[in-house]
Amino acid sequence: MSTAIVLMNLGTPAQPTPSAVRDFLRDFLSDPRVVEIPRPLWLTILNGLILPFRPKRIAPAYAEIWNCSADDAQVEGSPLLYYTRHQAQLLQKHLKDKGRDIAVEYAMTYGEPRLDKVIEGLRSKGYESFVVFPLYPQYSATTTAAIYDQVAQIFRKSRDIPDISLVRDYYHNPLYIKSLANSVREHWQKHGQAEKLMLSFHGIPKANVDKGDPYLRHCQETARLLAEELQISPERWQVTFQSRFGKAEWLQPYTDKTLIEWGKGGIKSVDVICPAFSADCLETLEEISVENRANFIEAGGSEYHYIPALNLRADHIEALAAVVEDKLPGPK
């Protein structure tokens, strides 16, 4: 039985323009997994207050990061799309070098390329077994579960459902943790160690965790394992949460407020890593690397370094291969 892997990430606007950003946000924010406010109320807010104005505000931020990277890669277009596409290529090569001739494609939960079209194309080539691999180390209903929903919807009316499996999470995978640690060590070798290491994870509403989402626990365990691998004391590092949206309480402490507190409190140097992001994107290249750098410096800090996402690192690709290995047919 021929097997294909489909790597999945969140998605990106097709272009850094208000119209393209509007299309992306409409798709993204219409998903009940992303926003759990009752549909009639939320769709009124989305279509009446958010989509007419927000795309114009954030399109310039997308324009700033277009063709940009934090790790010297020669990016073309959307960084998220660039890295995900090349991760698929490198993972396929890595598996082939290990004797596994397996196709690896990529898709986005929102925007292009869409999962249904990618699977349709693979099935037309004769592939009968699929591993869908969300590139979210820490599981959340807002991200990974949305992909489960898409898989179910794709085959809801199909009589001939292929053999299909999904990777749920890999927040504690040893090779993933080691890759994160290696990226931090390499940064320290070049720049020295800052006073604080901030582990900034993407936030979700606190209410989601109160209802049973395991994301917070997964983030905390990733952070604990990374600190243990780096052998740094508890006072040297802290978990924070970024990218909150709306007025509801999200997971705390907040990244931006913590950096301001640190700057005002006399902390002069900070290193920031974002372990929940498998690839650099708007939230890392603009929000963390630019916006929050400014917050920290303005509050009194002196040195601020963003440590790039794992992106195309060889040890990252090796970690992805180790994670997906358990889902592949044949000898392990």
Give the pLDDT confidence of 136-179 residue by residue, as tens digits.
999 999 999 999 999 999 999 888 899 999 999 999 999 999 99
pTM: 0.96
Per-residue pLDDT, averaged over 88-102, amounts to: 96
pLDDT of residue 84: 98
Work out the percent of the chain whose per-residue pLDDT is above 70. Answer: 99
Per-domain residue ranges for the chain?
3-171+314-325, 174-307
16/146 Cα distance (integer angstroms):
24
Q: Looking at the predicted structure, is the pLDDT value of residue 260 above 90?
A: yes
Binding residues, by number, are: 202, 283
- Over residues 51-92, the pLDDT tens digits come to 999 999 999 999 999 999 999 999 999 999 999 999 999 999
Mean pLDDT across the chain: 96
| Fold of domain 3-171+314-325 | Rossmann fold (3.40.50)
Question: Concatenated DSSP letters for 279-318?
Answer: S--HIIIIIIIIIIHHHHHHTT--EEEEEPP-TT-HHHHH
Would 3-171+314-325 and 174-307 be classified into the same CATH topology?
Answer: yes
Q: Is the pLDDT of residue 120 over 70?
A: yes
| CA pair distance 203, 251, nearest whole angstrom | 6
Mean pLDDT, residues 212-240: 98
Distance of alpha carbon 229 from alpha carbon 26, whole angstroms: 41
Mean pLDDT computed over 290-306: 98
- Which residues participate in the annotated binding site for Fe(2+)? 202, 283
Banded model confidence at residue 331, pLDDT cuts 50, 70, 90: low
CATH number at 174-307: 3.40.50.1400
C-alpha 69/C-alpha 82 separation (Å) is 10
Are 92 and 129 in contact, with CB atoms under 8 Å apart? no
The residue behind tokens 């952070």 is 223
Q: What sign has the CA pseudo-torsion 312, 316, 318, 320?
A: negative
